[in-house]
Amino acid sequence: MLLEDFSKKLYSVFFILLFCILMQRVVIKIGTNLLTREDGSLNTDFIGKVARELKKLFVNKKEVVLITSGAVAAGRGELKLERVDSETIHEKQALAAVGQSNLMQKYYKTFTLENGITIAQILLTPHDFENLDTLQNTHNTLKLLISKKVLPIVNENDVTATDELKYMANDRLAAKVANLVGADALILLTDVEGLFEEEPHENPEAKLVKSADKRHLKKYFEAAGSAGENGHGGMETKLEAAKISECETFIADGNARDVLSKIVLKGENPGTVIR
């Protein structure tokens, strides 16, 4: 019995080590509700936390692409405007134009100046994935940036495209980018622990789904919660991203301690994994 238990532990350790070695390239998406405070201003404490975690990944020679939301909310916070349901698409585009530069300034200060991570900004639209020439150019640029140990920061180009503001959501964008760069894992960071069998706000006893098959996600769509006040996605778009993704998709609480290190460096699953 002792030999059998030892063999199981040895196999488990071997599997985790193999998993971490194989997880070389990851795409990480962080949502608006994590990036912004209730008043719409950027959450610099959270950005600092992400920067420190990304630094650990780079030190361990991992390749990372970051998908960010938050431009519209950051613009609203910069202009000190309250969010109203009557905001038009054009008003949101204007807010994104203000917020995008603010967002990148914060990333440059925190990622580059404070943590030594060189960053690059890439703005995409759904149409960029439909045009083969544009898609190839984007792939080549991302590939070169990754090879130079640069962190590409990708966002939807809200100023020229309205898809994300209407229905696109950066979760789907993250899945498309993950497929484009051949990522080993897609990590969707949100403000909840992961996917639940039922809506946890309605049923506090709802159970966390630790693992799910992307071919059988239909039953979870009914329980998927909507996006927060500042966001556009919600759990439904994360499930859609998992279906699109050609790699494993992790859904986890971005506020949890060392969440990226646990997934990428230790082979743990702190939330939900969809295969």
Q: Is residue 9 part of a domain?
A: no
Q: Is residue 3 part of a domain?
A: no
Q: Is residue 41 part of a domain?
A: yes
CATH number where 237 lies:
3.40.1160.10
Q: Is residue 53 part of a domain?
A: yes
The pLDDT value given to residue 57: 98
Residue range(s) defining the domain that contains residue 105: 22-274
Q: Is residue 14 part of a domain?
A: no
- Mean predicted confidence (pLDDT) in 25-34: 94
Q: What is the full DSSP assignment across 169-233? A: HHHHHHHHHHHHHT-SEEEEEESSSS-BSS-TTT-TTPPB--EE-GGG-HHHHTTPPBP-SS-S-
Structure tokens at 55: 């630094």
Structure tokens at 57: 């990944």
The pLDDT value given to residue 5: 57
Q: Is residue 12 part of a domain?
A: no
The pLDDT value given to residue 272: 97
Crossing angle (nearest 10°) for helices 89-107 and 44-59? 50
Q: Is residue 191 part of a domain?
A: yes
- C-beta separation of 32 from 70 below 8 A: yes
Confidence class for position 81, pLDDT limits 50, 70, 90: confident
Confidence class for position 37, pLDDT limits 50, 70, 90: confident
Q: For the chain, how many structural domains are there in total?
A: 1
**pLDDT tens per residue, range 215-263:** 999 888 766 654 444 444 478 999 999 999 999 999 999 999 999 999 9
Least confident of 28-42, 89-103, 165-179: 165-179
- Give the rounded distance of the alpha carbon of 51 from its chain centre: 14
Q: Is residue 110 part of a domain?
A: yes
Q: What is the reported pTM?
A: 0.87
State the average pLDDT for the chain: 86
**pLDDT tens per residue, range 190-210:** 999 999 988 777 788 889 999
- What stretch of H or E contains 8? helix 2-22
**pLDDT tens per residue, range 152-180:** 999 988 777 665 544 457 899 999 999 99
